[in-house]
Amino acid sequence: MAETVIAVRGLRNQFGSLVVHDGLDLDVHRGEILGVVGGSGTGKSVLLRSIAGLNRPAAGSVTMLGLDMGAASEAELAALGQRIGVMFQDGALFSSLTVRENVEVPLRSVPGLDAQTREALARLKISLSGLPWNAGDKYPSELSGGMRKRAGLARALALDPEIVFLDEPTAGLDPIGAAAFDALIRDLSRNLGLTVFLVTHDLDTLYAVCDRIAVIAEKKVLVTGTLDDMLDVDHPWVRDYFLGPRGRAARDAVESAPANG
């Protein structure tokens, strides 16, 4: 059986009187790309932030890479933070720093890493993200939306993480740019052995890169499984999402595409 690197049990997220999640359970396996989907307001990004340690849940537990995050010390959480990377929507870059300086931000937490080595590592991650060689010297305002996303991905990869969290990575991209980003995620996961937790609404992304899908509905993970499994789920939202016109179009596009090996 695949190793479980993230185990969520009984998670409850609540903001005032608004309960977003209640009794949510989820497992994420090493090396997989897990796509997380759900209707508007189901708390997909909230779940990502709770697992990544950016939001404290009201109840329940999150165990990541063997560490119970609710019982962990600050030092243990800091060490765990160096084993994960997070890419927010639109990159969430510091506007006053160049792309290279943005990517260097996580590297500054590594003891004994001199400035020359930081710069070399940052440029390597920028290259891995598919940006042109001179992008590191540009500011976020000088980049297109797709390039900012790649810069955000480069920063998420800065510390060679085992798990990467991606929040709507293709949102706002044109179809060609989105397809290129999907291919990049797939290749990085395969080549680097990354586990990817991917929040998305993009059916093309689900079909292009995801090994499993987790559907959030009714304040919990309603179902997990492959895309083929989703087609057999008897739930109104799941049927409308995967079997509606957009779902059929995405599935037909994958089935008609030539094999890429």
Residues 6+ positions from 162 with CB-CB distance below 8 Å: 5, 30, 65, 83, 84, 193, 194, 195
Domain ranges in the chain? 4-224
The CA distance from 65 to 30, in Å, is 9
For the chain, where are the alpha helices, taking DSSP H only? 44-51, 74-81, 99-107, 115-128, 145-156, 175-192, 203-209, 227-230, 236-243, 245-256
Q: Give me the percent of the chain exceeding a pLDDT of 90.
A: 83
Interval 125-178: pLDDT, tens: 999 999 998 899 999 999 998 899 999 999 999 999 999 999 999 988 898 999
Interval 180-206: pLDDT, tens: 999 999 999 999 999 999 999 999 999
Interval 92-121: pLDDT, tens: 899 999 999 999 999 998 888 999 999 999
User: Model-level pTM?
Assistant: 0.92
Binning the chain into helix, strand and coil, the percentages to the nearest 5 are 40, 25, 35
Answer left, alpha or beta for residue 172, where phi above 0 means left and psi between -120 and 50 means alpha.
left
The CA distance from 21 to 11, in Å, is 7
CATH dotted code for 4-224: 3.40.50.300
Q: How confident is the model at residue 261 (pLDDT cuts 50, 70, 90)?
A: very low
Element (H, E) at 62: strand 59-64
User: Which one, of 39, 4, 6, 10, lies nearest residue 220 by Cα?
Assistant: 10
How many other C-beta atoms can be found within 10 angstroms of the C-beta atom of residue 166?
27
Residues 6+ positions from 188 with CB-CB distance below 8 Å: 128, 157, 194
Burial of 106 (0-12, 13-18, 19+ CB in 10 A): buried
Residue type for position 82: Q
What is 76-100 written as a DSSP string? HHHHHHTTEEEE-GGG---TTS-HH
- Tally of CA atoms within 13 A in the half-sphere of 256 that contains its CB: 6
Contact 135, 56 (CB under 8 A): no
Alpha-carbon torsion 218, 69, 18, 198, what sign?
negative
User: Which one, of 59, 57, 58, 77, lies nearest residue 67 by Cα?
Assistant: 77
